[in-house]
Amino acid sequence: MNRRFQDLKIWFDEFCAKYTCSADTDVVFNLGVKTSHTNRVVDLITKIADELGADITIATACGLLHDAGRFPQFSEYRTFSDSRSVNHAKLSALVVNESGILGELFNKSESEIIMLAILNHNKIAVGSDISADALLYTNMLRDADKLDILNIMVSHYESPVDEKDGIELGLPDLPIVTESVMCTAEAGEAVSYADMQCLNDFRILQIGWAADLNSPTACRIFRDARFVERIRGFLPTGARIDKLCERVTTELDRMIMNPAEVFLGNQLQEKNLSAD
C-alpha cells in the first residue's frame, strides 16, 4: 500500500466512522456490508488495473471512494435504493469534493479522473463526453463494483440474512419476471434499476451484467464464480430464461477468448473518436 493510498484510507475510515458508530443495529449491519464491499472493490480493481498496466493508486482511490455516499444515504434514508432516496454516486462525489481530500493527494487531472469514475460507476451506460483516461478507470471501477455486488447478492440468495432490505432494495420476492425486464434482457440491453418490480427482475439485471464487463480479468472472475448458473437456480423454470442464460454464458466465453475486443478494443475506439 503506497503513502497516498494510506493517507486516503485514513480520511475514508474517519469519514465512515461518523456513520458506523450508530446505536441502530440495522445501520451498523448495512453500513458494515458497504465497508466490506468497498474493501473488496479495492482488491478487485487492483487486480484489474495491474493486468492492464494502469495506475494502481488512481484505481484504488476510485475503488475506495466510489460508495462514500452510501454512508450518509443509509443513515438518512434507511435504504440503499437510489430511487427511494438520492443518487448515491452523486452523493459520493459531493462528499469527496467537499472534503478537499483529492486536492491534497492528487493532481488536477488525476482528481478529475477519480471524480468522473465515481460519478459514472452506477450509470446504466457511461456518458460519451468522458475522456479516454477517465473511461479506462471508470470501466475498471464498474467491473470491480459489479463483481463484488454479484458476490454479495448470490451469497445472499444461497444463505439469506434477516436484515435483507438493504441488500434486496425492498423488492418483493414474487415467482415472476416482469415482461418488460425480460424483453430488455433478451434484446441484450442493460436492465434499468428503475424498471425492476420484483427480486427476480434484479436477478435478471445481474445476469445481464456479464455483457457490460470491460476487462478480461473481470470476465474470468465472473465465469469462474459461476454467477449465471448460481443465479439461474433462484429464477422460475422456463425456456426463455434458460435461453437467456445460455446466450450470456456463450458471450462471456467469447469475450474471454477475444480479450482485445472486450477492453482494448473499446479503449482504442474511444481514443480514435477523441482524435477526430
Binding site residues, Fe ion, CB under 5 A: 67, 122
> Would you put residue 168 in left (φ > 0), alpha (ψ -120 to 50) or beta?
alpha
- Give whichever of 37 and 203 is closer to Fe ion, judged by the CB atom: 37
Query: Which residue, 67 or 110, is less far from Fe ion as judged by CB?
Result: 67
Q: Which secondary structure element, helix H or strand E, spans residue 148, and what is its range?
A: helix 132-158
Q: Report angle CA 269, 270, 271 to the nearest 5 degrees.
A: 90
Residue 178 CA to residue 253 CA, distance in Å, equals: 28
**Which C-beta is closer to Fe ion: that of 37 or that of 223?**
37
* Set of cell numbers at residue 194: 428503475
What's the min distance (Å) between Cβ of 118 and Fe ion? 9
Match 452506477 to its residue by C-alpha cell: 122
CA pair distance 136, 138, nearest whole angstrom: 6
Q: Which of 142, 135, 155, 121 is nearest to 227 (CA)?
A: 155
Q: Which three cell numbers stand for residue 274?
A: 477523441
Q: How far is the CB of 87 from Fe ion (least distance, A)?
A: 10
Nearer to Fe ion by Cβ, of 67 and 168: the residue is: 67
Select 67 or 270, whichever has its Cβ closest to Fe ion.
Answer: 67
- DSSP tally for the chain: helices H, then strands E: 16, 0
Smallest distance from Fe ion to CB 11, Å: 19
| Selection from 134, 106, 104 nearest residue 119 by Cα | 134
Cβ closer to Fe ion: 75 or 178? 75
Q: How far is the CB of 122 from Fe ion (least distance, A)?
A: 5
CB of 37 to Fe ion, least distance (A): 8
State the nearest-atom distance from the C-beta of 75 to Fe ion, in Å.
Answer: 16
